């Protein structure tokens, strides 16, 4: 099916797609059941109904996956950069050809509206194309030492077997953002997908096989017991790299575990993104940016704007226009044509969002729009804007991960900077101002790995994605992305003119 074909979603279409998804573990090129025979259910968050049951990997399966990755590493590292790039290019083309399948599958298991899911397919596929081109550009260098007595040869080599742990909120893009640079660099992989949304990774792994990836290079172990399954791998000396996207709490534990074997680590952790609107901002443009920064993925994104820090002179206008847009956002199953906001991922997540809203309301905030769960099946929450939020309220310090926008006001640039930096996180920030000098100052003053200047979205395969402080370390995407899977080796060569 072409990327431009948008088929009508029927129950038959859903069933046909689900029937095409592999339900086993992928180990050494073969789909197989878990050693224990166990499976776990994957639910549709818009209904709570089971979509599929898939193999539930345990510690034995995890070790078998690492065995396969370790056995394939030497031969895979010898494959030419061009061939690795061609595999990624074929994978890009296959994912693009099956864009509607991937989009619908993500909508079914994660809940996002189909329009958003299609956007993720485009974004996720771009990592395959980007790193197909970067595979042949992992350059070293040759130079003469300053004293002229030695020749310096510096080369880049694959780190080795890598454990890739992806989150549930972007089932395709988070897989491609890790798998593509690993493939380009010549690393073998064990991919542990999120148990809430593993189906997209199942289909993606099958596509990578179809694209020509050799057996053992990519091994997939969906599991309901992540710690028990991947813990032994982190302690195994054959594993040389750990890439994790998820909560800061889990990231801290993994960093501690990874220290035992001094693993190379990439951590993309929690966020608490400030969205700063200055008095000279184009308010309509700021509202448009806010809608993207807040409601993309129902707010279930580490890059989602979490705190709206608005100058007191434009706060009322911003809140009024923002509320009008939010009120028009229809909550419905992502397959419905009118759907603009899908469900949250599960009941626990919805309860957490409502707990934060209730705490803010009890602390004196008011709901301009929304403020409650949606009645009926599924885990829907009303798009919500809160005014009068005060410092110290939980909703300003905790990651919301839902369609809720708390607004707090400021009166000076220094105060805006203080409020924005008042968090342990530093993944992304958004600033709206017409003053270029102020925009540059904010870029220099804000403690953040990324900044959207008059833009509500920053993610791009060609840009280095990552944060500072407790939002993580390392970068994904951009020129920097492949470096996370390479190490530098220096060879000193004797003076060719001596003797």
H or E element: which one contains 19? helix 11-19
What pLDDT, in 10s, does the model give residues 160-198?
A: 999 999 999 999 999 999 999 999 999 999 999 999 999
Q: What would the mean pLDDT of 331-337 be, rounded to a whole number? A: 96
Among residues 444, 424, 411, 165, the alpha carbon closest in space to that of 306 is found at: 424
Q: What would the mean pLDDT of 81-108 be, rounded to a whole number? A: 98
What pLDDT, in 10s, does the model give residues 203-214?
A: 999 999 999 999
* Residue 401 C-alpha from the chain's centroid: 13
Full-model pTM: 0.96
**pLDDT the model gives residue 204:** 98
Q: What would the mean pLDDT of 451-476 be, rounded to a whole number? A: 97
Which single residue is written with the structure tokens 């189909």?
A: 114
Tell me the two tokens of residue 91: 């994978």
- CA angle at 115 for the pair 221 and 309, rounded to the nearest 5°: 90
Decide if 388 contacts 368 (C-beta within 8 A). Answer: no
**pLDDT the model gives residue 343:** 98
Confidence of residue 5 (pLDDT cuts 50, 70, 90): very low
If you ran DSSP here, which 8-state letter would residue 173 be given? H
Residue 375: pLDDT over 60: yes
Confidence of residue 55 (pLDDT cuts 50, 70, 90): very high
Residue 191 burial (C-beta neighbours within 10 Å; 0-12, 13-18, 19+): buried
Contact partners, residue 153, CB within 8 Å, separation at least 6: 140, 141, 142, 490, 491, 492, 493
**pLDDT the model gives residue 3:** 41
Tell me what the pLDDT averaged over the chain comes to.
Answer: 96
Decide if 495 contacts 168 (C-beta within 8 A). Answer: no
Catalytic residue annotation: 268, 302
Instruction: Tell me the H-state helices in 301-401.
Output: 315-327, 347-362, 394-397
Q: What would the mean pLDDT of 114-126 be, rounded to a whole number? A: 98
Decide if 370 contacts 404 (C-beta within 8 A). Answer: yes
Q: What would the mean pLDDT of 238-247 be, rounded to a whole number? A: 98
Residue 261: pLDDT over 90: yes
**3-class secondary-structure state, position 317:** helix
Torsion angle, alpha carbons of 171, 172, 177, 180, to 10? 130
Give the integer Cα–Cα distance in Å for 402 and 420.
20
Residue 142: pLDDT over 70: yes
What pLDDT, in 10s, does the model give residues 143-165?
A: 999 999 999 999 999 999 999 99
Contact partners, residue 110, CB within 8 Å, separation at least 6: 45, 117, 168, 169, 171, 196, 197, 200, 342, 345
**pLDDT the model gives residue 499:** 72
Positive or negative torsion for Cα 106, 62, 401, 378: positive
Residue 373: pLDDT over 50: yes
What pLDDT, in 10s, does the model give residues 64-92?
A: 999 999 999 999 999 999 999 999 999 99
Tell me the two tokens of residue 212: 């020509």
**3-class secondary-structure state, position 104:** helix
**pLDDT the model gives residue 4:** 40
Among residues 302, 240, 255, 299, the alpha carbon closest in space to that of 112 is found at: 299
Alpha-carbon distances, residue 360 vs 73, 299, 303, 373 (angstroms): 52, 18, 22, 15
Give the integer Cα–Cα distance in Å for 499 and 496.
8
Q: What would the mean pLDDT of 405-423 be, rounded to a whole number? A: 98
Residue 2: pLDDT over 90: no
Which single residue is written with the structure tokens 């184009």?
A: 282
* Residue 375 C-alpha from the chain's centroid: 30
**pLDDT the model gives residue 1:** 40
């Amino acid at each position: 099916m072409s990327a431009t074909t948008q088929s009508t979603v029927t129950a038959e279409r859903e069933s046909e797609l689900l029937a095409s998804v592999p339900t086993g573990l992928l180990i050494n090129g073969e789909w197989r059941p878990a050693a224990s025979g166990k499976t776990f259910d994957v639910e549709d968050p818009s209904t709570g109904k089971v979509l599929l049951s898939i193999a539930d990997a345990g510690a034995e399966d995890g070790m078998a996956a690492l065995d396969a990755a370790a056995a394939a590493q030497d031969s895979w590292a010898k494959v030419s950069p061009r061939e690795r790039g061609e595999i990624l290019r074929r994978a890009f083309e296959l994912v693009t050809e099956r864009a509607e399948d991937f989009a619908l599958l993500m909508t079914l298991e994660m809940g996002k509206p189909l329009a958003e899911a299609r956007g993720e397919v485009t974004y996720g596929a771009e990592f395959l194309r980007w790193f197909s081109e970067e595979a042949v550009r992992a350059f070293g260098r040759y130079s003469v030492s300053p004293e002229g007595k030695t020749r310096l040869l510096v080369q880049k080599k694959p780190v080795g077997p890598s454990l890739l742990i992806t989150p549930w909120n972007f089932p395709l893009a988070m897989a491609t953002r890790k798998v593509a640079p690993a493939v380009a660099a010549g690393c073998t992989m064990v991919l542990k997908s999120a148990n809430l949304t593993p189906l997209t990774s199942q289909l993606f792994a099958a596509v990578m096989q179809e694209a020509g990836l050799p057996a053992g290079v990519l091994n997939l172990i969906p599991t309901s017991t992540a710690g028990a399954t991947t813990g032994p791998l982190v302690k195994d000396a054959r594993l040389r790299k750990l890439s994790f996207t998820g909560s800061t709490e889990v990231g801290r534990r993994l960093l501690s575990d990874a220290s035992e074997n001094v693993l190379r680590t990439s951590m993309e952790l929690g966020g608490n993104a400030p969205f700063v609107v200055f008095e000279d901002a184009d308010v309509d443009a700021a509202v448009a940016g806010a809608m993207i920064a807040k409601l993309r993925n129902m707010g279930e994104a580490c890059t989602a704007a979490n705190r709206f820090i608005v100058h007191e002179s434009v706060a009322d206008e911003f809140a009024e226009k923002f509320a009008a847009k939010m009120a028009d956002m229809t909550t419905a199953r992502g397959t419905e044509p009118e759907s603009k906001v899908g469900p949250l991922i599960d009941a626990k997540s919805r309860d957490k969002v409502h707990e934060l809203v209730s705490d803010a309301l009890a602390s004196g905030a008011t709901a301009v729009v929304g403020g409650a769960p949606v009645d009926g099946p599924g885990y829907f929450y009303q798009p919500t804007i809160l005014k009068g939020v005060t410092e110290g309220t939980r909703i300003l310090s905790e990651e919301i991960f839902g369609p809720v926008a708390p607004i707090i006001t400021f009166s000076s640039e220094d105060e805006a900077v203080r409020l924005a930096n008042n968090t342990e996180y530093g993944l992304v920030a958004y600033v709206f101002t017409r003053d270029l000098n102020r925009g540059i100052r904010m870029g220099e003053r804000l403690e953040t790995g990324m900044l959207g200047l008059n833009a509500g979205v920053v993610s791009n395969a060609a840009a280095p994605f990552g944060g500072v402080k407790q939002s993580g370390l390392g970068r994904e995407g951009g020129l920097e992305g492949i470096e996370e899977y390479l190490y530098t080796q220096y060879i000193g060569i004797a003076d060719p003119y001596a003797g």
